[in-house]
Structure 1
Amino acid sequence: MTGPARPAARPGAAPEPGRIDAHLRAAAARHPDRPALVDRGRTWTYGELDRETDRWAAALVRHGVRPGAVVSWQLPNRAEAVVLHQATLRIGAISNPIVPIYRHAEVGFILRQARSEIVVVPAEFRGFDFPAMVGDLRAGLPDLATVVVVGTAPPGDGVVGLEDFLSAPATEPTPPEPAVPDDPDALALLLYTSGTTSDPKGVLHTHATLEHENHSMIEFFGLTGSDVVFMPSPVTHVTGVLYGLQLPFMIGAPVVLLDVWEPGAGLDLIERHGCTFVVAATPFLHGLVHHPGRTPESTRTLRVFACGGADVPPDLVRRAGEQLDCLVVRIYGSTEFPTATSTNLSDPVRTRAHTDGRPIGRAQVRVVDDRDRPVPPGTAGHLLVRGPERFVGYLDPTLDADAFTPDGWFRTGDLAVVDDAGYLEITGREKDIIIRGGENLSAKEIEDRLFEHPAVADVAVVAVPDPVLTERACAVVVPEPGADVTLPALTTWLRERHRLAVQKLPERLLLVDELPRTASGKVQKFKLRDRLRRSAP
């Protein structure tokens, strides 16, 4: 099995002495009986989790996975995701989480580009048949040899149930695990993110970049083995990977998983297991604060809620801090650069509520003009970030030239202001995306699909504000003459024709005679957003 070529090392990268997967093994050796993972009522100790990781690692090797290969998986927040991710890293392969909301269009693209030879999926999650989806895609995936199903596996060539996958054949010796070099600059993670393009972009992280990121968070928030991490964010997002699948084992702490978000269930888990630390997007914080069943006892142990992935209203930060009686902060980052800025207890409440914080760890931020020249404090411009946690490049290297400056700064695509004290505030986006509940949705992708509809003559997709999800997608459509265009008809057509993730479907429709355009033909989306804002109920 072969994986993507490793990109050149980043200028100024600071190598770490070990690999990020070594922490689970070390923690299991130090305290094998300490709780490590809570999932659906079961608690795994560090010893149990380490042994199960060895079992999965051996199974991956038996099925041909070698160092540098990509192991794709589309699993919810459950123990299988934790074990598979750790086992993949343990044998020197590259973990490729895929968010469970992705459907045929996104999953097919990812498996083809990553040239995945193995993928692990649930038999069913939230009413969706994942093996059937992969079966539909198999003809277009010549590299895909093995589909592992967590649950009952349907009959099919190369499809195997989890227990059969893990069982060693009695007549065949288990091949030895490959020697894995202690190389912190080896690739560890391939994670896809949406942006301005129709197709997802494969982001490459090494053991070193992930290690630097987690160390900066541990130090900034003073995390120790006495903490208990609560992870409701999908472990297939960068937030879930970092702080659900890796950081807890670096400090020898347990992680509590929740697979389907429901604020009442979240509050119950926080109270029952004494959770102290959460990193999640705005809807999760909003849900905890506004749940009618919340009591002071529910969040008595909660110490830090770092909120990011979408715009965080200042009033929510203030109210949440008071009502949950914990430190609530905004946090800025991305899949490419997980955490650049935040605040902590040393910062005033107003600063925590109204800014995205100051650089943490060794992260650097810079605001520049259109010619990459730094602008004075308080002046809006393009945000660049740099530091040892920065990703090493995209799987498609043709995307790198636009992503980086010659001296290694990452172009975030966000507009920002940095004040005299060094605090960052995001003021807008260059990228044409909708941030829905922490998910980055490409407006262009939705537009490209809608353009194919026979009743659509022209279309633009823009974000409309939402008090809970931050933003929702609105399709502004110019109908073909005489065509009857409705939102249900468009969404049904998108589901049936393109099988997109449900979250990408437009949730509002505006019919217009023509789209406002510049002299060069570019759609003036700011005018559409202003019109929608004025017409909001």
Structure 2
Amino acid sequence: MTTYDHDYQTDEPHTGLFHWYLEHRAVTRPDEQAYTYSPLGLVNATDETATWSELNEEAGQLAADLANEGVDPGDFIATLFPPSPHYAVTYFAAAKLGATLVPLDLRGTPTEHQYVLDATSPAAFIGARQFRETNFEAILDDVTAFSDIETTYWLAEGYRESLPDQSEYQWTIVDSDGTVDRSTTAGCTDPDTALLVVFTSGTTGDPKGAVLTHRNVVFQGTAISSVWDVSEDDTVLVHLPMDHVGGSTELMGSAIVGGSELVFLDAFDPSAALAQIEAHDVSILGNVPAMWGMLFNDENYAETDLSSLRVGIVAGQAPSEDILRGMAEAADTAVTGWGLTETGGFVTLTGLETPVEEMLETVGRPFPGFDVRPIDDDGSFLSAGETGELVVRGDGVMERFLADEHNEDAFVAEEWARTGDLGSLDDDGRVRLRGRKKNMYISGGYNVYPPEIEDTLTDHPDVAQAMVIGVQDDEWGEAGHAFVLARPGSELDSDRLDEFVDDHLADYKCPVDYTIESELPLTSLGKIDRQALLENYDLNPV
């Protein structure tokens, strides 16, 4: 089996500790810019920049204050921030202390926040009072578990001035020359300490809290930095939600491990994103397909100078050929990959030289340190070319789920994490996805994988997004109901779509029903929300 034949090229020691990278840069590159931020949606925030030493100092101050308030290693710290310096400071403060950060969903309801806070019982909360028109403080006032949190910090005027000196947290694990020193620290020195809890979307049952360690997050940053050559010469736009691995581990993790400058965009707006890319020479841009589409369709796109873009990344959903080719035109190279919350982000990555044609068929190879195998329903490993549920092991795999009941069927042979994704490996070790195991349905005796139908639907010029859900059907036993998000101004109808799909797919794969809308419920990453469809439409799902 072929894997990537290279290691992460750096003289830096791999401590496995996330905050070491910040502290190391604060010593070796103290006056270089760490981030730029211009608030778009965060109320009571101002334009700001900071050097690595300034970012480290503020994180140390917050860590010291949290320690003074009684927050201990192993405690949970809840936070509610968009992508911003405030989140970064909180992230690193928790890392220094050995506490575990619990990012809340900006779009979460009181019921959803109650579930997460009940599951974690945080010792502290740090967050923003308001984001655009949403009053977080008012929402959290309706959350019983929030009132049980002993220490709360709200973003407000004078917040920074109230923080104490760093005291013993000034250099947690770094000597004055930037090397590792664990001998005199009061902070976290164990890379297997829990750093983040990221809750899965909960498309079946309650959301599951994946516990990610320092080692997991650093491994993710190392993988991306290695394969896609992320370094101190790069500038990364950080704009994906912080309660997802896309924001907290993939973008921030790779930027911090690689030593890149961060540009925070706290709310995704295509015009604002284009302006930030041009103004700050952003070289690394990662989006879900829907975000790339919004950029390409923005009225300012053609006039924006994108010459700084070196790598365009797409993940979270299979991209269309149009999206991939648009990315390849916008950036020097387009890349993709596959992963999940339980692995801290990417498991497989395509190389910088991978052609678009190959990315339409594969999501790349596992990064060294990850093993990927397909298994059958009995848990037996399958051979190359055979399709089964993909399982993963390696340093990036989560420590566990928070709730014991969620761990009962999470692993195979104790070390292989189930992904719920169906796929195969070819003779060169490339992973080919077939869809979600739980979303597959059997129509006329044939296995049907919704992503294949969704890809066909989105090839239609009037379709922006599509999602297919398996439903009970009198004729086929099970069949597909397609939800289609139409492009503005289009005149789509089910007859046209049926004719289009019939020309491209076998009859048993063609949906039996279509719901065509100009608006559909979306997730925070801009994808059609499957759970919301199941809740809001009268379906009889398989």
Scaled to the shorter chain, the TM-score interval is: 0.7 to 0.9
Q: In the alignment, does 2:311 pair up with 1:311?
A: no
* Cα distance in 2 between the residues matched to 1:133 and 1:297: 38
Deviation, structure 1 residue 39 = 0.8
Range that drifts further, 425-434 or 22-31: 425-434
* Cα distance in 2 between the residues matched to 1:286 and 1:212: 30
How many residues align? The count is 438
* Cα distance in 1 between the residues matched to 2:378 and 2:391: 12
Quick one: structure 1 residues 503 and 352, their matched pair in 2 at CA, closer, same or farther if it must change by over 3 Å?
closer
Quick one: structure 1 residues 198 and 162, their matched pair in 2 at CA, closer, same or farther if it must change by over 3 Å?
farther
Match of 2:221 in 1: 214
Correspondence for 1:464 among 473, 476, 483? 483
Match of 2:472 in 1: none
Match of 1:373 in 2: 380
Q: Map residues 62-461 of structure 1 onto 2, 5 A cutoff.
A: 62-138=68-144, 140=145, 143-151=148-156, 162=159, 166-168=162-164, 179-295=186-302, 298-322=305-329, 324-337=330-343, 338-431=345-438
Verify the 8 A CA contact 1:62 1:174 in the aligned structure 2. Answer: no
* Cα distance in 2 between the residues matched to 1:37 and 1:74: 20
**Runs of 5+ unmatched residues, structure 1:** 1-14, 153-160, 444-460, 469-486, 492-501, 516-522, 525-537
Verify the 8 A CA contact 1:330 1:353 in the aligned structure 2. Answer: no
Quick one: structure 1 residues 510 and 24, their matched pair in 2 at CA, closer, same or farther if it must change by over 3 Å?
closer
Q: Which amino acid aligns with 2:186?
A: A
* Cα distance in 1 between the residues matched to 2:401 and 2:258: 30
> TM-score under structure 2 normalisation?
0.74
Q: Give aligned-pair identity as a percent.
A: 27
Match of 1:61 in 2: 67
Look up the SS of the partner of 1:87 in the other structure: helix
* Cα distance in 2 between the residues matched to 1:56 and 1:391: 27
* Cα distance in 1 between the residues matched to 2:166 and 2:366: 48
Deviation, structure 1 residue 176 = 5.9
Deviation, structure 1 residue 174 = 9.1
Q: Which amino acid aligns with 2:75?
A: A
Verify the 8 A CA contact 2:16 2:219 in the aligned structure 1. Answer: no
Compute the RMSD of aligned alpha carbons. 3.4
Deviation, structure 1 residue 355 = 1.6
* Cα distance in 2 between the residues matched to 1:363 and 1:420: 17
Q: 1:51-101 CA deviation, whole Å, 9 max, x = no partner?
A: 111221122122221111100101111111111111111111111111211
Quick one: structure 1 residues 353 and 301, their matched pair in 2 at CA, closer, same or farther if it must change by over 3 Å?
farther
Q: In the alignment, does 2:64 pair up with 1:45?
A: no
* Cα distance in 2 between the residues matched to 1:181 and 1:117: 17
Verify the 8 A CA contact 2:30 2:51 in the aligned structure 1. Answer: yes
* Cα distance in 1 between the residues matched to 2:133 and 2:342: 31
* Cα distance in 2 between the residues matched to 1:508 and 1:73: 28
* Cα distance in 2 between the residues matched to 1:174 and 1:318: 49
* Cα distance in 1 between the residues matched to 2:437 and 2:411: 15
Look up the SS of the partner of 1:270 in the other structure: helix
Deviation, structure 1 residue 336 = 0.7
Quick one: structure 1 residues 416 and 296, their matched pair in 2 at CA, closer, same or farther if it must change by over 3 Å?
farther
Deviation, structure 1 residue 33 = 1.2
Deviation, structure 1 residue 504 = 6.4
Verify the 8 A CA contact 1:16 1:184 in the aligned structure 2. Answer: no
Verify the 8 A CA contact 2:275 2:304 in the aligned structure 1. Answer: no
Deviation, structure 1 residue 197 = 3.4
Deviation, structure 1 residue 203 = 0.6
Q: Which amino acid aligns with 2:420?
A: G
Deviation, structure 1 residue 18 = 4.5
Deviation, structure 1 residue 511 = 5.0
* Cα distance in 1 between the residues matched to 2:537 and 2:190: 53
Q: 1:148-203 CA deviation, whole Å, 9 max, x = no partner?
A: 22137xxxxxxxx8458x345xxxx9986681242111111111112343321111
Match of 1:27 in 2: 25
* Cα distance in 1 between the residues matched to 2:163 and 2:226: 41
Deviation, structure 1 residue 102 = 1.2
* Cα distance in 1 between the residues matched to 2:391 and 2:405: 20
* Cα distance in 1 between the residues matched to 2:83 and 2:22: 18
Quick one: structure 1 residues 245 and 422, their matched pair in 2 at CA, closer, same or farther if it must change by over 3 Å?
closer
Look up the SS of the partner of 1:295 in the other structure: helix
Range that drifts further, 236-245 or 215-224: 236-245
Q: Which amino acid aligns with 1:410?
A: A
Q: 1:288-344 CA deviation, whole Å, 9 max, x = no partner?
A: 22223113752111111221112222331123212x042112211111111111212
* Cα distance in 2 between the residues matched to 1:414 and 1:98: 26
Look up the SS of the partner of 1:271 in the other structure: helix
Look up the SS of the partner of 2:435 in the other structure: strand
* Cα distance in 1 between the residues matched to 2:431 and 2:321: 14
Quick one: structure 1 residues 163 and 43, their matched pair in 2 at CA, closer, same or farther if it must change by over 3 Å?
closer
Look up the SS of the partner of 1:402 in the other structure: coil
**Runs of 5+ unmatched residues, structure 2:** 1-12, 39-46, 170-184, 441-449, 455-466, 470-479, 488-516, 522-528
Look up the SS of the partner of 2:113 in the other structure: helix
Verify the 8 A CA contact 1:75 1:236 in the aligned structure 2. Answer: no
Q: 1:16-38 CA deviation, whole Å, 9 max, x = no partner?
A: 53411111111011111111011
Look up the SS of the partner of 1:316 in the other structure: helix
* Cα distance in 1 between the residues matched to 2:408 and 2:535: 36
Verify the 8 A CA contact 2:222 2:258 in the aligned structure 1. Answer: no
* Cα distance in 2 between the residues matched to 1:466 and 1:424: 29
Verify the 8 A CA contact 1:27 1:249 in the aligned structure 2. Answer: no
Quick one: structure 1 residues 327 and 32, their matched pair in 2 at CA, closer, same or farther if it must change by over 3 Å?
same
Verify the 8 A CA contact 1:106 1:200 in the aligned structure 2. Answer: no
* Cα distance in 2 between the residues matched to 1:425 and 1:395: 30
* Cα distance in 1 between the residues matched to 2:252 and 2:155: 18
Quick one: structure 1 residues 510 and 17, their matched pair in 2 at CA, closer, same or farther if it must change by over 3 Å?
closer
Deviation, structure 1 residue 243 = 3.7
Q: Which amino acid aligns with 1:19?
A: L
